[in-house]
């Protein structure tokens, strides 16, 4: 890997990225895949529901508990 003598702000500007992109570690939930699958299933089943309706249906299900 070649190391260039370029400042971080200049390199980020050249790449079109914000500087915090290089510092923050991406994180997700342990059950992200299950939540995504539930949202896809609800969207398939109920069609053009808005996100608030889908969220309400998901929070009512037993598989999702936001307090945990």
pLDDT at position 20 is 86
Give residue-wise pLDDT tens across range 27-67. 878 888 888 888 888 888 887 777 788 778 777 775 555 55
Q: Which residue, among 57, 20, 60, has the nearest Cα to 42 in the 3D structure? A: 57
Cα–Cα–Cα angle for 44, 66, 25, rounded to 5 degrees: 90
Looking at residue 39, its pLDDT comes to 81
Residues 1-35 have pLDDT tens digits of 677 899 989 999 999 999 888 788 878 788 888 88
Cβ atoms of residues 9 and 19 within 8 Å: yes
The full 3-state SS of 2-17, as one line of letters, equals CCCCCCHHHHHHHHCC
pLDDT at 10: 92
What are the domain boundaries of the chain?
Answer: 28-68
Look-up: residue for tokens 């009512």?
A: 60
């Amino acid at each position: 890997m070649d190391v260039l003598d370029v400042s971080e702000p200049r390199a980020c500007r050249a790449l079109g990225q914000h500087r915090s992109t290089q510092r923050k570690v991406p994180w997700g939930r342990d059950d992200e895949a299950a939540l995504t699958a539930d949202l896809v299933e609800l969207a398939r089943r109920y069609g053009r529901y808005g996100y608030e309706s889908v969220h309400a249906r998901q929070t009512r299900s037993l598989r999702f508990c936001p307090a945990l």
